[in-house]
Structure 1
Amino acid sequence: MPRNGAGGSTLTPADTIKLEEKPFIQAPKPRGSGITVPIEQIAPCPRNLRGDDLWPDPEERDRMVASLKRKGLIQALVVVDVAEYVAHYPEDEEAFSPDHRYVVVAGHCRLDAAPDAGLTDLRVDVQNEHASDVDSIFLDENLNRQALTCFQEGEGYRRLRVNKGWSDKEIAEHYGFSKSKSRVTKRIAILPLVEVTAARESILSSERGSLTPDKAYTIISVVKDPQLVMPTYELMTARNLDAREAGRLLQLSTIEAEKTATPIPHPATSAESAPPASENKDEQTLTPGGEQQPGQGDGTDGGETTGSDRTDSADSGTDDEQGAKNESGGHDETSSKTGNPPKQQESRLTDMEKQQIAADARREQACKLLVQEYREPLVDGHVVRTAATTLAMVGSQTVRLAHKWLSEIESSSAQGYSSPTSYRDHVLAGQDGALMLQVAYAVALADDELRAQDRRRKPDFRVIRHWRYLIEAAKYEPSSWEQQYLR
């Protein structure tokens, strides 16, 4: 075959090869001078992600008003016809009055500031071809200016996921952060917290120590119930726990409270039907969620630990530093008017989830007992070397759980180290082979236990083997949920 130059072929394709590309939605740009219409004919878009939060800084609005007074409207608003918009979003039809002819796609801030600048007519550029893509356009317009809160951003992603069927990866690639697909997933996952005032205000606050979107995602992935996110975060902060430990402790206290809670009599109910009051006022306390639980004397808080240097789980990324309505659990106004007692806030956990959480706590106690009863083994150089390699490669979450068990053993050397990784490094650098084997044993149990607590997958052979070992070595009694896999 004849060649042209150094290895090049002289053959060329007859036609230009065109690669098939996925349509890329871009924010509309003004195409001309447009037309001038009365401001009464222009309506803001009901799907605008920023809603009434157009001006995070009031001074920005003052500057916009001053600019419109001096120079008028330099750039036309991009709009679509109301009829075209309603054809795509019929649920928004009631948002428009008979006077409205156009819906803003780009230019909400200018529309809002125009009346205060004395403008009665505005120039608009009608681009009806963008009527079906307003959700994507709002994200394009505002992400570049970082004008959206994490909740507004998450709502935009949710709409694209639901209305256009885009995956989280496709959304991330479209908006230029393809290496951070988790950003989309996390923003959507924390959307239920919009209805939880304390959590929402903490996330939107810029104060040091407030709840971040990453931490909120980690916590809600553990506790599931949006109402438990802030109590869990406060427990993490106060007791230096990670999200898994704090969430488990709070869920266990909630489950115990449900078992022992006494219905609160409503003033309208008769005194005869009311349950007898407890003689000991200190017998019951309130959980952070407002439910009753037994007092400290019954030992239900035995799972709490302190003194460990905790961090969030690996699900928390560094790229994101910054639903359905939730039950408030408060007084039901409708019930009070009809004389019926208010409904007590119920846990969002299913019976199966409650059973799994209780089983997790009992397995951890069994593991801790095995670590505590560990006897000094026959130290073999080859075994010690294998144990050292295992300790060096294991994950930080596994090390934290193993350190927790070890630090609760009397006279354990782990008590002198607040950082789990520092203790692991101390053991690896030492010459005590028996200690290294004990720590490696605790780490092996912790690794299997964390795998058993992972709800994202069904129990595999490794989990079932772990359960059987605890049954044999620690006399662990499996729950009915575990028994179906042990048959």
Structure 2
Amino acid sequence: MPRGKAGGSTLTPVEPIKLEERPFIQAPKPRGSGITVPIEQIAPCPRNLRGDDLWPDLEERDRMVASLKRKGLIQALVVVDVEEYVAHYPEDEEAFSPNHRYVVVAGHCRLDAAPDAGLTELRVDVQNEHASDVDSIFLDENLNRQALTCFQEGEGYRRLRANKGWSDKEIAEHYGFGKSKSRVTKRIAILPLVEVAEARESVLSSERGSLSPDKAYTIISVVKDPQLVMPTYEMMTARNLDAREAGRLVQLSRIEAEKSSPPIPHPATSEESAPPASQSKDEQTHAPDGEQQSEQGGDTDGGETTGSDRTENVDNRTDDETETDNETSSETGSPQNSRLTDTEKQQIAADARREESCKLLVQEYREPLVDGHAVRTAATTLAMVGSQTVRLAHKWLSEVDSSQAQGYSSPTSYRDHVLAGQDGALMLQFAYAVALADDELRAQDRRRKPDFRVIRHWRYLIEAAKYEPSSWEQQYLR
């Protein structure tokens, strides 16, 4: 070996240098077994969110079939052993035949198209470690690749809530992909509409101007019964009402119909199934499936909102309030009860009678002594109050003879007119109606017990309008 240049190393190696041969590119080690098995041994997963709705259109399926014919299966299906799957989901055991050995976790579309492409065997990647997490995998796969319907999305969220015990906030953070917690809550809440054909089709066609998922959530939060969602929506559209007003009218109509027609006994009803005579009347009328509520608590429907917030509509509540309302629901994903308890019927009827008393007070309002300080206070109140309160106050004023509010179809336009004008008496009248509406909406809010403001509102109506409180209200007035 020649000597180095001046200043270089003078050491000469005694033995020749051995070079280790390594591949230029080292391929990653493939995961799973990568085995090829007959198609009849592979079963679709019963928990797949899409079910039979694998393809958005038939042309996409034709393209998949053509690709499998030309190139074969490029990417293996991710599967788990049937025994491993059933160990985590025993309720799905009957979905598999003795020939099934694997359950698909990822690759349902490829499995569906393979027979038409002439494939009799498919390569699978067995990953049993994912058997306990198929719900989150399905949600992840479908939300990233294809848009789920609002019901499929809600079912995925419901499963994570039920099986993992996650809150709606945790679901949104892990699998919401930028979606808000309230979206998770609303998608779960409208799941009962899947069983109501007309409501389901209307929600699914919401892109064409029908019932949107958010509006469906607002309505079902008010009426609670999925069967009443479409009648309420139709009344909202026909009479230009909000969900609270339309829902209450529909519920009152049903209550009156129940009073006028005797209940039809179920064919299976017998003396053995009748409640014991020793039970009280309330115990006999309350439902046995958890619908019975404590009247002393005042929170009669487990946190569900049947009225409006004091200033905003139901769908404008904070995320914390929405989560609290719905995380107490059953694992079926339905926070709604299909029947009203006796207490709830009393509350709905009392709401309607109180509103009539408020409207009477607005109608009998007399022009007060206009004071500059009072007018300024009224103007500040009108500017800061919520839109829901303004809407209810405007409704009462519109039904009063010779009221200027009749000329304004928009409540906010009428408020702007009053605030911009110089009529102090008119401003005080509107402020009085708004004060009544604000307290009345608070009284109709079922998410909290009646507080001192609600009780004060009841007592004012009793004194000023001769309002007769219901038995449910009387327990708080003692």
TM bucket, shorter chain? 0.7 to 0.9
Q: Distance in 2 between matches of 1:324 and 1:131?
A: 22
Task: Report the 3-state secondary structure (helix = DSSP H, G, I; strand = E; otherwise coil) of the residue aligned with 2:141.
Answer: helix
1:34 shift after superposition: 1.1
Counterpart pick for 2:372 among 372, 375, 381: 381
Task: Report the 3-state secondary structure (helix = DSSP H, G, I; strand = E; otherwise coil) of the residue aligned with 1:78.
Answer: strand
2:155 alignment partner AA = E
Aligned to 2:349: 358
Task: Report the 3-state secondary structure (helix = DSSP H, G, I; strand = E; otherwise coil) of the residue aligned with 1:455.
Answer: coil
Q: Distance in 2 between matches of 1:99 and 1:260?
A: 58
Aligned to 1:315: 315
Aligned to 1:337: none
Tell me if the contact between 2:158 and 2:333 (Cα under 8 Å) persists in the aligned partners. Answer: no
Equivalent positions of 1:161-310 (< 5 A) are 161-177=161-177, 180-206=180-206, 208-261=208-261
Aligned to 2:10: none
**Correspondence 1:402 to 2:393:** yes
Instruction: Pick closer, same or farther for the CA change 1:243–1:466 going to 2, 3 Å.
Output: same
Tell me if the contact between 2:82 and 2:101 (Cα under 8 Å) persists in the aligned partners. Answer: yes
**Correspondence 1:123 to 2:123:** yes
Aligned to 2:301: none
Tell me if the contact between 1:30 and 1:125 (Cα under 8 Å) persists in the aligned partners. Answer: no
2:79 alignment partner AA = V
Write out per-residue CA displacement over residues 253-295 of structure 1, whole angstroms, 9 at most, x where no aligned residue: 11111111257899xxxxxxxxxxxxxxxxxxxxxxxxxxxxx
1:178 shift after superposition: 5.8
Counterpart pick for 1:414 among 405, 408, 422: 405
Q: Distance in 2 between matches of 1:429 and 1:325?
A: 49
Aligned to 1:473: 464
Tell me if the contact between 1:193 and 1:199 (Cα under 8 Å) persists in the aligned partners. Answer: yes
Write out per-residue CA displacement over residues 107-126 of structure 1, whole angstroms, 9 at most, x where no aligned residue: 00000000000000101111
1:147 shift after superposition: 3.2
1:98 shift after superposition: 1.2
Tell me if the contact between 1:33 and 1:123 (Cα under 8 Å) persists in the aligned partners. Answer: no
Task: Report the 3-state secondary structure (helix = DSSP H, G, I; strand = E; otherwise coil) of the residue aligned with 1:103.
Answer: strand
Instruction: Pick closer, same or farther for the CA change 1:466–1:163 going to 2, 3 Å.
Output: same
**Correspondence 1:452 to 2:443:** yes
2:38 alignment partner AA = P
> 1 or 2 for the larger relative contact order (CA 8 Å, sep ≥6)?
2
1:468 shift after superposition: 0.4
Structure 2 segments unaligned to the other structure (5+ residues): 1-28, 267-311, 320-330
1:209 shift after superposition: 2.6
Indicate the percent of aligned positions where both proteins have the same amino acid.
Answer: 91
Q: Distance in 2 between matches of 1:114 and 1:121?
A: 9
Task: Report the 3-state secondary structure (helix = DSSP H, G, I; strand = E; otherwise coil) of the residue aligned with 2:111.
Answer: helix
Instruction: With the length of structure 2 as denominator, give the TM-score of the two structures.
Output: 0.79
Backbone CA RMSD of aligned residues: 2.3
Q: Larger radius of gyration, structure 1 or 2?
A: 2
Tell me if the contact between 2:218 and 2:243 (Cα under 8 Å) persists in the aligned partners. Answer: yes
Instruction: Pick closer, same or farther for the CA change 1:257–1:30 going to 2, 3 Å.
Output: farther
How many residues align structurally? 391
Moved >4 Å (runs of 4+): 176-179, 262-266, 323-326
Q: Distance in 2 between matches of 1:361 and 1:120?
A: 67
Aligned to 1:76: 76
Instruction: Pick closer, same or farther for the CA change 1:150–1:325 going to 2, 3 Å.
Output: closer
Task: Report the 3-state secondary structure (helix = DSSP H, G, I; strand = E; otherwise coil) of the residue aligned with 2:145.
Answer: coil
1:35 shift after superposition: 1.1
Q: Distance in 2 between matches of 1:232 and 1:193?
A: 14
Task: Report the 3-state secondary structure (helix = DSSP H, G, I; strand = E; otherwise coil) of the residue aligned with 1:144.
Answer: helix
1:348 shift after superposition: 1.3
Q: Distance in 2 between matches of 1:400 and 1:197?
A: 32
Structure 1 segments unaligned to the other structure (5+ residues): 1-28, 267-311, 327-345
Aligned to 1:45: 45
1:373 shift after superposition: 0.5
Q: Distance in 1 between matches of 2:390 and 2:195?
A: 36
**Correspondence 1:483 to 2:471:** no
1:179 shift after superposition: 6.3
1:208 shift after superposition: 2.5
2:383 alignment partner AA = A
**Correspondence 1:436 to 2:427:** yes
Instruction: With the length of structure 1 as denominator, give the TM-score of the two structures.
Output: 0.77
Task: Report the 3-state secondary structure (helix = DSSP H, G, I; strand = E; otherwise coil) of the residue aligned with 1:202.
Answer: helix
Tell me if the contact between 1:252 and 1:357 (Cα under 8 Å) persists in the aligned partners. Answer: yes
1:31 shift after superposition: 3.2
Instruction: Pick closer, same or farther for the CA change 1:169–1:145 going to 2, 3 Å.
Output: same
